[in-house]
Amino acid sequence: MHDLVVIGAGPAGGNAALSAAQAGLDVLVIDEASQPGGQVWRAPSLGVTLAADPDLTRGQAMRMALGNAKIPIKTGFSVWSVAPISDGFEIALASEGGPEMVKARRLLVATGAQERVVPFPGWTLPGVFGLAAATLMLKTENMLPGKRIVIAGQGPLLLAVAAKALKLGKVPIAVVDYNGLGAWLRSVAGFARHLPSFGQGLTWQAKLALGRVPIRRRSEITQAFADNNGLLAEIEIAPLGRGRKQRLRVDTAFIGNGLVPGDEILRLLGVKRVPDPMTGWRIAADAHGRCGPSGLYVAGDAGRIRGALPAAAQGRRVGQVIARDAGITTSFDAVDEAPEFERFADASCRLMQVDDARISTLPDEVILCRCEDVTVGMVRQAIAEGAQDANQLKHFTRLGMGPCQARMCGANAAALLRSHAKVQPGAEYLTPRSPIRPVDITHMAGQFDYADIPVPKPAPL
Amino acid sequence: MTKTVDLAVIGGGIHGASIALFAARGGMNVTLIDRDALARGASGTNAGTLTMQMTRAALIPYALKAHEMWVRAPEWLGHDVGVKACDGLSLAFTEAEETLLAERAEARRAAGAPIRLVTPEEARAIEPSVSTQIRMASHCTIDGFANAYLTGVAFRRALISEGVELQEYTSVDAVEPAARGYSVHTKAGVINARQIVLAGGVWLEPMLRWLSVHVPIRTLVNQLAVTERMPPVMRTVVGIASGLLSLKQYPHGTVVIGGGWQGIGDRTRNTHSVVHDSLIGNVRLAVHAIPGLAASRIVRSWTGFEAETADALPAVGAVPGHEGAWVCGSVHSGYTSGPYIARCLSQAILGEEPEMPLFPIDRLLPAVVSNPLK
């Protein structure tokens, strides 16, 4: 039984573990990746050298601090479920070594964000990647696939990926930005609240301008087309509203429309989502990250999309809150609450907003649930036939029944329900189920003897 | 003035929805009420197994009739519930399980199920992917499965075309005897009905209390899991002697793993969830029975309630002391025999003689203590 288990070793989880351990708690950290860092502060693969970069520097500093603090970290472990027990939480892990249960008096969920994609016909073709996948490849392998690439969607990640592609010598055929210059300018005041990040953003913009990368503002990909082998070959882009459509020959597209909380574990433990005008939804938590059952905490993007630096600050703070709640310490260091981050995060989130109307006006033929090939039209038909909530939609269409468990389509299906059905608040989301990620049966079962399976007593004859 | 319907059915699972359908076809004016959407409880989340080898011996005659109904669902229901008929095997891995299997196969055979014991070689001819470690199996030629999650949409279409009024997302607060029948108090208003059916699964106990009838109903929390889509790995329904495993592969490739391993839950709060060790045990049993499952992944697990009376036999019949009030539920492996049990009860509601005997709940009432003052 640990005092505290932290799930996710990104900026929030890593820093929370550091401050909780410093206060004297026995902490265990669990992360899927092979090294701490999370998505933004991700460590490069062994043997890959990256040019200096603020995220890399911050990640290395945190990895060093975690190492110096001798905090045990189970890397390469996927948490497939968490359940409340009488005196805390049972965290279910699975790996090549088989199943393993970890118990904790307190649990911090710092599982970061997930990417949201506004779909278009052809978005599931091989050759189309998420912007998050692009950053993962850039940060671990310093590479991007493709020769003729297009980068499309919205939000700060769009610029970051474009600038880094350019640095690798890959000049994007186009950057297709949903937002116009006006939207970026409206966010300038917020971005300017954190000058180093603002500076980085300006540098990216300048590099794209110098590299003569065509930026199509207030535009989006409206269709993608395959070649005879079924691979991405061409995209159609169009200005929002009216305007001339254009076709571009590409072999790779990186797309993304912002981020949503990676909150599966929290929802599994009964924590509710609450609507948030800026980020779609956030997790119901108090100012100290306490949420749901006693002993459960959230920090970082898993609770509300704010970005890496606010997540790190929040992690440090929540780590101290946990130590205080555990009665280990009564002192409370003056943790920098960093109000400038709020405005900065709002500026980023404003650029990632997706109105329900963008989903509810998609053509019928667009695939919504890629695991089960459920189209927008099939969802509309199910709603017309009486499906009034997400669980019913799942039963009518198989939406969300595949390997990703609606991670990809859940936010978009919710938008359709809100637009077309009489859905009760909260019922636009599927009931959360474990496993959080698909688990290899060999990992869940492990090595066992038949005689040791605790088969319950036979059912009545 | 509030209109009076012939029949109000409270609970839109397999029992309630079937009764509403048959009563409407019998000429009744029917309203069906559920606090959620149709078949969103046990009827939409169970494993869909249509097996005789997990059915209680006393229910085999009903389950055989129901199996035929399920297979012919497109004819009487008018819609597809993804039913597939196939062979079924129940396995024994130990000597103790052999004894259990032989005893249970004999009891079910005596009740009418076409079950016979087979050698491991014969079992492998029927199901080539079965474990080489089996010592014996029982084979039933009448087995199969439905796609339980399609129950709601299929019945919804059928009920609407039959003119049944559906009141979904409508909870019932109370039922009171009225001048001519009963008043059903819902959050959306009062419905007057000449007859009522209580078909609320594990909530039958609180529902019967509306009429001051006290029947304890135990709540089981059954766990299930499903794999990702995988190439064909099995073609029968596979279980084990104790009944604690059910396995079958759906045409789209997923394998559903069940067998009644217990999760935890609370009927009053309507919450239920998976117990990790229970799920691991269930998955171990599954991969032990069909080793080919090792190539797959578990993508989802879930839980659902099952109701059980004190003697684990159904609560199906008239509510004692309340003319025109009926109860239907707590049928072990209730989905399997559901449509037929419901047909029998709907015959009684329509004033006919049921095809097969019902399971009146008088036996479950607390023994009447004689009043010494009388």
3-class SS of residue A327:
coil
CA distance to partner chain B, nearest, from residue A257 (Å)? 26
Chain B nearest-CA distance from A129, in A, is 22
pLDDT (average), residues A35-53 = 92
Phi, psi of B174 (to 5 degrees): -160, 155
Residue B201 pLDDT exceeds 50:
yes
Interface contact B244-A459, CB threshold 8 A: yes
- Amino acid identity of residue A142, one-letter, is N
Contacts of B149 in chain A (CB under 8 A): 394-395
Whole-number Å distance between alpha carbons of A217 and A214? 9
Residues A370-402: pLDDT tens digits?
Answer: 999 999 999 999 999 999 999 999 999 999 999
> Cβ contacts of residue A226 below 8 Å, gap of 6+?
A122, A125, A232, A233
**What would the pLDDT profile of B154-168 be if each residue is shown by its tens digit?**
999 999 999 999 999
Best of B227, B287, B298 to disrupt the A interface (most A CBs within 10 Å) is: B298
Asked if A395 lies within 8 A of B273 by C-beta distance, the reply is no
pLDDT in tens, A323-369: 999 998 766 665 555 667 888 899 999 999 999 999 999 999 999 99
Quote the pLDDT of residue A198.
86
Q: Is A394 on the interface with B (CB under 8 A)?
A: yes
pLDDT (tens digit, 9 = 90+) per residue, B22-60?
999 999 999 999 999 999 999 999 999 999 999 999 999
Q: What is the pLDDT of residue B190?
A: 96
User: Tens of pLDDT along A225-240?
Assistant: 999 999 999 999 999 9
Per-residue pLDDT of A420-450, as tens digits, reads 999 999 999 999 999 999 999 999 999 999 9
Question: Which residue's entry shows tokens 């009744």?
Answer: B28
Question: Does A203 or B9 have the greater pLDDT score?
Answer: B9
pLDDT at A38 over 70: yes
CA distance to partner chain B, nearest, from residue A250 (Å): 32
Contact A444 B227 (CB under 8 A): no
Q: Would you tell me the crossing angle of helices B14-25 and B334-349 to the nearest 10 degrees?
A: 30
Asked if B273 has any chain A CB less than 8 Å from its own CB, the reply is yes
Cβ neighbours, 10 Å, residue A188: 12
Say which CATH topology domain B4-43+150-215+311-364 has.
FAD/NAD(P)-binding domain (3.50.50)
- Helix orientation angle between A390-397 and B151-161, rounded to the nearest 10 degrees: 90
Q: Is the pLDDT of residue B374 over 50?
A: no
Nearest by CB: A396 against B133, B153, B261: B153
Q: Which of B11, B23, B5, B1 is nearest to B343 (CA)?
A: B23
Q: Of A264, A395, A447, A448, which to mutate for an interface test with B (greatest number of B Cβ within 10 Å)?
A: A395
- Among A160-174, A273-287, A325-339, B258-272, the range scoring the smallest mean pLDDT is A325-339
Nearest-CA distance B133 → chain A (Å)? 10
Q: Which member of A453, A460, A461 has the closest CB to residue B284?
A: A453
- Choose among A276, A395, A79, A3: nearest CA to B147: A395
pLDDT recorded at residue A242: 85
Picking from B34, B134, B234, B297 by the largest number of A CB atoms within 10 A of its own CB, the best residue to mutate is B297
Q: Which of B266, B279, B293 is the best mutation test for A, with the most CBs of A within 10 A? A: B279
The domain spans of chain A are 2-114+260-348, 117-257, 356-420
Torsion sign over Cα B39, B43, B46, B51: negative
Structure tokens at A94: 């699975």
Burial tier of B182 (Cβ tally within 10 Å: 0-12, 13-18, 19+): buried
**pLDDT above 70: percentage of residues in chain A:** 98
Is it the case that residue B3 has pLDDT exceeding 60?
Answer: yes
Length of chain A: 461
In this prediction, residue A233 carries a pLDDT of 98
- Quote the mean pLDDT of chain A: 94
CA B155 to chain centre: 15
pLDDT at position A335, please? 57
Q: Residue A203: its pLDDT value, please?
A: 87
Kindly state the average pLDDT of the residues B69-80. Answer: 95
Residue-wise pLDDT for A80-106, tens only, equals 999 999 999 999 999 999 999 999 999
Residues 226-285 of A with CB under 8 A from B: 270
Tell which B residues from 90 to 119 touch A, by Cβ distance under 8 Å. 93-94, 100, 103-104, 107
Calculate how close chain A gets to B370, using CA atoms only, in Å: 33
Whether A444 has its CB under 8 Å from any CB of chain B: the answer is yes
Are A388 and B227 within 8 A, CB to CB?
no
Pinpoint the alpha helices (H) of A168-211: 181-191, 195-210
CATH class of B86-143+218-308: alpha beta
> Taking CB atoms and an 8 Å limit, are B243 and A458 in contact across chains?
yes
Give the mean pLDDT of chain B: 96
Which amino acid appears at position A210 of this protein?
L
pLDDT for A270 beyond 80: yes
Q: How many helices (H) and strands (E) does chain A have?
A: 14, 22
The fold adopted by the segment(s) A2-114+260-348 is: FAD/NAD(P)-binding domain (3.50.50)
- pLDDT tens for A190-200 read 888 888 888 88
The reply to whether residue A461 touches residue B284, judged by beta carbons under 8 angstroms, is no
Is residue B368 predicted with pLDDT exceeding 70?
Answer: no
Q: Span A220-228, mean pLDDT?
A: 97
Mention the CATH class of domain A356-420.
mainly alpha
pLDDT score at A278: 83
Q: Which fold has domain A117-257?
A: FAD/NAD(P)-binding domain (3.50.50)
Q: What values do phi and psi take at A83, rounded to 5?
A: -135, 145
B278 CA to chain A: closest CA distance, Å? 8
pLDDT in tens, B117-172: 999 999 999 999 999 999 999 999 999 999 999 999 999 999 999 999 999 999 99
The ranges assigned to domains in chain B are 4-43+150-215+311-364, 86-143+218-308
